[in-house]
Structure 1
Amino acid sequence: MKKLSARRRHPLAAVVVLLFALAATGGLYTAFAPASKAKADDTAQSLAIEEGKKLYLVGCASCHGTGGEGTTDGPTLVGVGAAAVDFQVGTGRMPAQQPGAQVPRKKVKYNQAEIDQMAAYIASLGAGPAVPTKNQYNPAGADAAVGGELFRNNCAQCHNFTGKGGALTYGKYAPGLEGVSNKHLYEAMQTGPQNMPSFPDSVLSEQNKKDIIAYLNEVNGPETTTPGGMELGGLGPVVEGLFAWIFGMGSLIVIAIWVAARTAKAKKS
C-alpha cells in the first residue's frame, strides 16, 4: 500500500493519467463515431435506391426491363450513370410518351427528390457518370471565347453555331439549347443523350465544358439581340440551303424565261 501511495504522489502521475484518458477518448471516438456516420450514410443511400427502384418499376420497367437490362423498346440502363437519369427525367424526355425517332422534351413528371432516387437506383446497377456538382457546371470565370471555338468545332454541325438546333436524318433533330439549364448542358455533354456523342473529361475537360456553357449563356442570354431582325442562321442549319435553293433556282428560271422570250422575239424580227 505504501508503494502504491508513493506512485500516486509521483509528479508525473497526473500527466500519465491525462494522456491515458485522452488516448482512450480518441480511441473510442475513432471506433464508434465514423462508423455511425458511415452507417447512417449507407442507410440513407439504401433507402434512396429502394424508393428509386419502386419508381422505376412503375414508370420505366415496361421499356427498359425490370432490372434495367433493356428490351426491344428501350436500351439497357446498366452503366449509364446517375447523370443520364437526371438529364433524361429532369428534362421530361423520360418516361417517353411513345416510341419514335426522337424523344422530345416535355413537362417534367417527377420532382427532384424522386429523380434523385431513380438516379441512385440506376447508378447502383453499374458505374457511370455521376450527377455534377454546382461547382462543376458553374461557368463563373470561364472563357466564353474559348467555349465558342470548342462549340463550333464539336457541336455546331448539329446544333447550329449559336445553339438554335437543326434537322438531322430519318426524322431526328438536334434540339435548340436556348433555355437549357447549365446542369443539363453539362450532363448532356457528359452522357451523350439520344443521337449526341458523349464528351467525357478525357475528350472535353471539366473546364472545357464550363467554357462551352459560358459561350451558350452569352449567345442565348436575355440581353442577346439580333440587329436588323431574325437572321437565317437563327432558324437552323438547313435554312441557308433552302434559301439558296428557292431564290437561286427561282432566279435561274426567271433568267431562262427571259432569255427564251428575247430569243423568240429576235427570230420573229
Structure 2
Amino acid sequence: MTENPEGADSAAQNPPPGGRPEQKAGRRSRPHGKTHRRIAGALAIGLSLVTVGFLYTALAPQPQVAEAQPDAALIAQGEQLYNNTCITCHGANLQGEQDRGPSLIGVGDAAVYFQVSSGRMPMARQEAQAARKHPLPIFDPDTAEGRANLEALGAYIQVNGGGPITPAERGEALRGDDPGRGGTLYRLNCASCHNFTGVGGALSSGKYAPALAPASESQIYTAMQTGPQNMPRFSDQQLTPEEKRDIIAYIKSVNETNDPGGYSLLGLGPTAEGIFVFVFVMSGLVGFAIWLGAKS
C-alpha cells in the first residue's frame, strides 16, 4: 500500500458535504451547553445577592433611632419642660422663631445637654454670643433632679428632631488614655481659638472662644459633637470618639497642673514667663541706656 499525502491534504481541505460526525454532534450540543451556562450564571448571581443581603443584615450598624427608645413617660416629662422653658423661642414644633431662637431640628440630645447644662440656654437677652452662666436650678447637672430633667428634655428633642446623642459616660470616664496625642490633636484643631492652654480668646463681631477650665468632660465632648457658636462640628469621621477623649484628657491635664515656675501669666503657654522676663529685662536695659545717653 502506498501513501497518498496529496490526497490526504485535499481531503482535509475539502471535507465531505455532510461534515464530520464530531462536528455535527458539537453543533447539536451547543444550544444545550448555552442553556446550562445561563442557568448556572443565574444561580450564581442569585446566590451572591442572597449572601450580600445576609451579610449586610448581620453586620450593618443599626441607626441610633433603632436602639433603646426612651419611654413615653420620659418624653412626656421632656415635652412639659420644653413647653415651660423653650417653646417661646424655639417654637411648638422645634422649628425656631425669627429673631428669637434657631430651629432645634437635627441638633440632638448632645446640643441640649451642652447649651442647657452650661447655662447658655435659656438666654437672658439677645447677644452676639450666649455666655456661660449658672444653669437653671431644674437643669443643674450637679443635682439628681437636674440630671433627670436634662435627660428628659434631651429625649423629647431627640425623638422629635434627631441629631447627635450625648455619650453614656460621664466625668473622668470621658478622659482618654493618651493625653499626649490629645495635645497634638488639640493644637491642630482647637488652639487657634481657645489658646494653647484653653484660656480662650477674642473672635470677630463680638464673639469669643470661651475658657475651657469651667467646662465638664461631658460639656467638652458635646461641644465637639455639635459645634456651638463659631466652633466647628467634629463628626466621628473627623475626630473619632477615642481622639475626642484624648483631647479631653489633655485639656483637663493642663487645667489641673500647677505652675512649677511661679505665675501662670494668663496661661499663655509653657514659655510665657521666659518671654515676659526677656521683654521686661530688655526694656529696662534700653531705658537705662537712654537715661545714660541723656545724662551725658
TM-score scaled by length of structure 2: 0.63
Counting only pairs closer than 5 Å after superposition, residues 119-198 of structure 1 correspond to structure 2 as 119-134=154-169, 138-139=173-174, 142-198=177-233
Q: Which has the larger radius of gyration?
A: 2
Partner of 1:57: 83
Partner of 2:112: 85
Cα gap change, 1:205/1:211 in structure 2, threshold over 3 Å: closer, same or farther?
Answer: same
Amino acid at match of 1:230: Y
Match of 2:258 among 199, 211, 225: 225
**Partner deviation per Cα, 1:84-134 (whole Å, 9 max, x = no partner):** 101111111111111101111111212111111111111122220011111
Match of 1:96 among 116, 120, 123: 123
In 1, Cα distance between the equivalents of 2:176 and 2:244? Answer: 12
| Contact 1:90/1:108 (8 A) holds in 2 | yes
In 1, Cα distance between the equivalents of 2:212 and 2:161? Answer: 29
In 2, Cα distance between the equivalents of 1:80 and 1:183? Answer: 16
| Contact 2:104/2:157 (8 A) holds in 1 | yes
Partner of 2:74: 48
| Contact 1:52/1:117 (8 A) holds in 2 | yes
Q: Aligned residue pairs: how many?
A: 214
| Contact 1:77/1:122 (8 A) holds in 2 | yes
**Partner deviation per Cα, 1:207-237 (whole Å, 9 max, x = no partner):** 100110111121111xx1223433445169x
TM-score scaled by length of structure 1: 0.69
In 1, Cα distance between the equivalents of 2:235 and 2:168? Answer: 15
Amino acid at match of 1:206: P
| Contact 1:137/1:186 (8 A) holds in 2 | no
Partner of 1:16: none
| Contact 2:171/2:216 (8 A) holds in 1 | no
In 2, Cα distance between the equivalents of 1:232 and 1:160? Answer: 13
In 1, Cα distance between the equivalents of 2:205 and 2:294? Answer: 43
| Contact 1:167/1:174 (8 A) holds in 2 | yes
Match of 1:117 among 152, 174, 181: 152
**Large movers: runs of 4+ above 6 Å:** none
In 1, Cα distance between the equivalents of 2:84 and 2:171? Answer: 32
Gaps of 5+ in 2: 1-67, 140-145
